[in-house]
């Protein structure tokens, strides 16, 4: 497996793979890889012949009071994990080599990025869509794989690919969970053991909502109230939102349509922000 740090090196390696007749898979990450990321890499490997993994802590998607400075950088471990999972190339650029000096161009999705996390993290999704557009231009993949845990990010990137005619296919991979049901996240390492146990309130709330829908409940307000009650049973958890939304538009709905509706949750345990979601029906 190769490791490169510049766009010319990246493009040369991808060109060689294409000349060999291989399709290109891509998994963009901010590093600090865990089993969830490795599952994405394995999925990309199963779908394509050559997998690029980017490791780049993108400054433009962090707000002024967020954790950019302390976000864990674990490049050596990330490279080893990527190789084990089947990656062919790791692209790990420096910030100054990736963003041109005085860069002033943005790519912004303005519909599904509203609400949910977008309400509480202004500018976040603009940073995400901009950096992923840049990465798509640099890598030029045939397939890109993202996790379903980041529901709103996935929706925004799908819109971007559709609206800007990127010639690639996005695959959404199911959320990978810890043994206790908590969605895997690089930020889980910020949780104390006690808070990690308390974080199970989030998947428990999702399960309550799913059970209600499975029993025939279709009123989104009742489903949301049941999920909120389960979240409230863990006093250390401070919910930020708990919404029943359309799976495509991410707009709140009044009625649950199985296969078309999602419960999305975000909350804080101490200083750590967690997100999760589940299909309803």
What are the strands of the beta sheet with 24-29, ordered from one edge? 2-4, 89-91, 50-55, 24-29, 143-147, 169-173
Distance CA 88, CA 78 (A): 13
Backbone angles phi, psi at 28, to 5 degrees: -80, 135
Exposed/middle/buried for residue 38 (C-beta within 10 Å: 0-12, 13-18, 19+): buried
Separation between Cα atoms, residue 258 and residue 54, nearest integer Å: 35
Whether 37 is catalytic: yes
CA–CA gap between residue 141 and residue 248 (Å, rounded):
24
- Cβ–Cβ under 8 Å, residues 175 and 144: no
Catalytic residue among 34, 37, 124, 268: 37
Whether residue 234 contacts residue 201, with contact meaning beta carbons closer than 8 Å, is answered with yes
Active site residues: 37
């Amino acid at each position: 497996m190769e490791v490169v740090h510049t766009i010319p090196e990246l493009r040369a390696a991808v060109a060689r793979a294409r000349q060999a007749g291989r399709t290109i898979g891509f998994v963009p990450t901010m590093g600090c890889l865990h089993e969830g990321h490795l599952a994405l890499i394995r999925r990309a490997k199963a779908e394509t012949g050559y997998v690029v993994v980017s490791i780049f802590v993108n400054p433009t998607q962090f707000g002024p009071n967020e954790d950019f400075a302390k976000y864990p950088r674990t490049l050596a471990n990330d490279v080893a994990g990527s190789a084990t999972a089947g990656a062919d190339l790791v692209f790990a650029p420096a910030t100054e080599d990736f963003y041109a000096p005085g860069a002033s161009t943005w790519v912004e999705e303005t519909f599904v990025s509203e609400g949910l996390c977008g309400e509480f993290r202004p500018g976040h999704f603009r940073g995400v869509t901009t950096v992923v557009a840049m990465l798509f231009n640099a890598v030029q993949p045939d397939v890109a794989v993202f996790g379903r845990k980041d529901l709103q990010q996935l929706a925004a990137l799908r819109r971007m690919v559709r609206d800007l005619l990127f010639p690639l296919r996005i695959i959404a991979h199911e959320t990978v969970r810890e043994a206790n049901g908590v969605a895997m996240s690089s930020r889980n390492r910020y949780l104390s053991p006690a808070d990690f146990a308390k974080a199970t309130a989030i998947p428990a709330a999702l399960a309550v909502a799913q059970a209600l829908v499975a029993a025939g409940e279709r009123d989104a307000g009742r489903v949301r109230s049941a999920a909120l009650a389960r979240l409230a049973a863990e006093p250390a958890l401070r919910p930020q939102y708990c919404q029943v939304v359309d799976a495509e538009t991410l707009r709140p709905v009044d009625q649950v349509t199985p296969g078309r509706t999602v419960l999305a949750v975000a909350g804080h345990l101490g200083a750590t922000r967690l997100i999760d979601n589940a299909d309803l029906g």
